[in-house]
């Protein structure tokens, strides 16, 4: 895939975190737009995870500077979107998983899983700030990509978008927060049904379930998010307080995600050759996007 990096909008302050992740500071909307472009496959590779950790530190520092300076120009919203046409994110790096499982590299699997949940949990708690997190989905949102979307306060999806967890196809389960996030939103039974369904859900189906907050026409996602921010800006303080209250009520600690990753690794190492061949098929499909 060719890099989508272009000359940034002169009205925006752009910060790069490697070649796959960059952020635009939109002072007019008081919003940070986080763009990702994972390559060579639209999944969570190690370089991208490292860049996302760097971004996490940057956002925390930005927020602290706002507090120290008592700034009236603080950033109230964060928007995550993909620059891969038709794909938000396809999830885990299956090619690496296969190699690590076949070589019984438990530590590599653990380190990868922990890197994922460190990034996801930081986003889930809004980097200890009063920002509101918005995920903009414009295509396939699968596996770890779906988990990433679930860490946001608001999910906006274009009509063509599809959601799901393909892990059950190769006899595994999503181990970086899917159960923790979904069960708190939908309850245990429905969360398990979705995780084990082998189904891709449409944006409208996710809207009916209460996972997606807004469905918009294809190609109108960015403008719709801008309009939504302008509409909600007057009530930002109320929204931020409600988001904090939601997290208190959900009582999701990092230790829970860490324990689930450990379970995921143990079961990943138990996959058979047949399971791994099925994973290889999906890994090959990842290369076609």
6 within domain boundaries: no
| pLDDT per position as a tens digit, 199-257 | 999 999 999 999 999 999 999 999 999 999 999 999 999 999 999 999 999 999 999 99
Helix axes 254-268, 106-124, angle to 10 degrees: 150
Burial class of 288 by CB neighbour count within 10 A (0 to 12, 13 to 18, 19+): exposed
Return the structure tokens found at 234: 């007057």
> 285 or 227: whose pLDDT is higher?
227
CA 187 to chain centre: 21
203 within domain boundaries: yes
What's the domain range around 147? 13-286
pLDDT level of residue 2 (50, 70, 90 thresholds): very low
Q: In what order do the strands lie in the sheet with 214-216?
A: 13-16, 21-26, 31-36, 77-82, 132-137, 154-158, 214-216
Task: Over range 11-19, report the average pLDDT.
Answer: 86
- The DSSP-derived string for 79-135 is EEEE-STEEEE--B-HHHHHHHHHTT-HHHHHHHHHHHHHHHHHHHTGGGSS-EEEE
Return the structure tokens found at 194: 């979705």
7 within domain boundaries: no
| pLDDT per position as a tens digit, 86-116 | 999 999 999 999 999 999 999 999 999 999 9
Q: Determine the pLDDT at residue 1.
A: 42
| pLDDT per position as a tens digit, 139-193 | 999 999 999 999 999 999 999 999 999 999 999 999 999 999 999 999 999 999 9
213 within domain boundaries: yes
Residue 168 and residue 186: Cα distance in Å, rounded?
20
Asked if 257 and 120 count as a contact pair (C-beta separation under 8 A), the reply is yes
Burial class of 269 by CB neighbour count within 10 A (0 to 12, 13 to 18, 19+): middle
Q: Determine the pLDDT at residue 289.
A: 75
Across the chain, what does the average pLDDT equal? 93
| pLDDT per position as a tens digit, 21-40 | 999 999 999 999 999 999 99
pLDDT level of residue 64 (50, 70, 90 thresholds): confident
pLDDT level of residue 5 (50, 70, 90 thresholds): very low
Return the structure tokens found at 72: 């009236």
The CATH code of the domain that includes 147 is: 3.90.226.10
207 within domain boundaries: yes
Q: Determine the pLDDT at residue 7.
A: 36
1 within domain boundaries: no
Q: Closest by alpha carbon to 213, among 132, 148, 153, 284?
A: 153
Asked if 175 and 260 count as a contact pair (C-beta separation under 8 A), the reply is yes
Number of domains in the chain: 1
3 within domain boundaries: no
- CA dihedral sign of residues 193, 194, 196, 201: positive
180 within domain boundaries: yes
Return the structure tokens found at 260: 């689930």
Q: Is 158 helix (H, G, I), strand (E, B) or coil?
A: strand
Query: Could you tell me the pTM of the whole model?
Result: 0.93
């Amino acid at each position: 895939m060719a890099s989508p990096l272009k000359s940034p909008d002169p009205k925006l302050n752009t910060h790069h975190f490697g070649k796959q992740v960059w952020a635009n500071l939109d002072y007019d909307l008081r919003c940070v737009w986080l763009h990702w472009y994972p390559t060579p496959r639209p999944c969570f590779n190690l370089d991208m995870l490292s860049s996302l950790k760097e971004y996490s530190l940057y956002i925390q520092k930005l927020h602290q500077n706002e507090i120290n300076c008592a700034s009236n120009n603080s950033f109230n919203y964060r928007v995550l979107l993909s620059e891969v046409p038709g794909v938000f994110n396809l999830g885990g790096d299956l090619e690496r998983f296969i190699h690590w499982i076949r070589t019984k590299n438990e530590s590599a699997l653990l380190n990868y899983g922990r890197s994922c949940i460190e990034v996801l949990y930081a986003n889930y708690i809004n980097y200890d700030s009063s920002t509101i997190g918005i995920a903009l989905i414009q295509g396939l949102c699968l596996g770890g990509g779906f988990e990433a979307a679930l860490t946001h306060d608001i999910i906006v999806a274009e009509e063509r978008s599809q959601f799901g967890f393909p892990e059950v196809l190769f006899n595994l389960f999503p181990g970086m927060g899917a159960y923790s996030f979904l069960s708190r939103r939908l309850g245990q039974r429905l969360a398990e049904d979705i995780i084990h369904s082998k189904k891709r859900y449409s944006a409208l189906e996710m809207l009916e379930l209460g996972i997606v907050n807004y469905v918009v026409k294809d190609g109108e996602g960015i403008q719709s998010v801008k309009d939504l921010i302008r509409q909600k800006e007057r009530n930002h303080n109320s929204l931020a307080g409600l988001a904090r209250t939601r997290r208190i009520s959900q009582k999701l600690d990092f230790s829970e995600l860490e324990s689930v990753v450990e379970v995921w690794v143990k079961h990943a190492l138990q996959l058979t050759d047949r399971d791994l061949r099925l994973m290889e098929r999906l890994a090959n499909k990842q290369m076609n996007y």
